[in-house]
Amino acid sequence: MMRSLFGFGKPEDSSLASPSAGEKASNDSAVSQVTAPAVAPIFDIDNNAAGPVHETKPLSDDEKSVFDRIKADIPELVKNLPAVEPEAQKYVDMEVPLDIEGWLSDECIARYVRARKGVYEDTKRALRKTIEWRAATRPHALRPDAVEIESRTGKMYFNGFDKMARPIIYMYNHRQNTKDADSQIRWVIYTMEASIRHMRPGVEKVILAVDATHWSFSNSVSIGTARKFLDTLANHYPERLSHAIIFNPPKFFVAFYSLLSPFVDPATRAKVAFVNPDAPALEQPDANAEAEADTPAPPAVPVAASNSPWIALEKHFERDQLEVDCYGNWRFQYSHDVFWEAVEAEFAQHKAGMLQSTTVATASSS
- Residue 156: its pLDDT value, please? 95
What is the radius of gyration, based on Cα positions, of the chain?
Answer: 21
Strand, helix or coil for residue 206:
strand
Q: Report the C-alpha gap between 208 and 123 in whole angstroms.
A: 26
Q: Report the C-alpha gap between 242 and 271 in whole angstroms.
A: 6
Cβ atoms of 164 and 53 within 8 Å: the answer is yes
Q: Report the C-alpha gap between 83 and 278 in whole angstroms.
A: 52
Q: Structural domain boundaries of the chain?
A: 2-21+152-334, 61-143
Torsion from C-alpha of 287, 195, 215, 145, nearest 10 degrees: 170
Q: Report the C-alpha gap between 303 and 187 in whole angstroms.
A: 40
Q: Positive or negative, the Cα torsion across 182, 187, 191, 197?
A: positive
Cβ atoms of 154 and 209 within 8 Å: the answer is no
- Residue 9: its pLDDT value, please? 45
Q: Which residues contact 304 (CB under 8 A, 6 or more apart)?
A: none
- Residue 256: its pLDDT value, please? 80
Q: Report the C-alpha gap between 55 and 365 in whole angstroms.
A: 34
2-21+152-334: CATH number: 3.40.525.10
- Residue 3: its pLDDT value, please? 42
Residue 142: phi and psi, rounded to 5, are -55, 130
**Average pLDDT for consecutive 10-residue bins of the chain (366 residues)?**
44 37 39 62 83 77 98 97 97 96 96 97 98 98 98 96 96 89 94 97 94 77 71 94 94 83 81 89 47 40 57 95 96 97 98 89 62
Q: How far is CA 355 from CA 98, 100, 132, 154, 330, in A?
A: 10, 14, 21, 30, 36
Q: Which residues contact 211 (CB under 8 A, 6 or more apart)?
A: 170, 171, 172, 173, 174, 247, 248, 325, 326, 327
Reduced DSSP (H G I as helix, E B as strand, rest coil) percent helix, strand, coil of the chain, to 5: 45, 10, 45
Nearest CA-CA partner of 251 in 215, 290, 289: 215
Torsion from C-alpha of 272, 274, 275, 276, nearest 10 degrees: 180
- Residue 57: its pLDDT value, please? 82
Q: Exposed/middle/buried for 231, CB within 10 Å: 0-12, 13-18, 19+?
A: exposed
Cβ atoms of 175 and 18 within 8 Å: the answer is yes
Q: Which residue intervals of 237-335 are DSSP H helices?
A: 251-260, 266-269
- Residue 51: its pLDDT value, please? 63
Cβ atoms of 287 and 164 within 8 Å: the answer is yes
pTM of the shown model:
0.84
- Residue 223: its pLDDT value, please? 65
Q: What is the DSSP string of 209-244?
A: EEE-TT--GGGPPPHHHHHHHHHHHHHHSTT-EEEE
Q: Report the C-alpha gap between 348 and 352 in whole angstroms.
A: 6
Q: Which residue intervals of 42-119 are DSSP H helices?
A: 61-72, 74-77, 100-103, 106-115
- Residue 262: its pLDDT value, please? 84
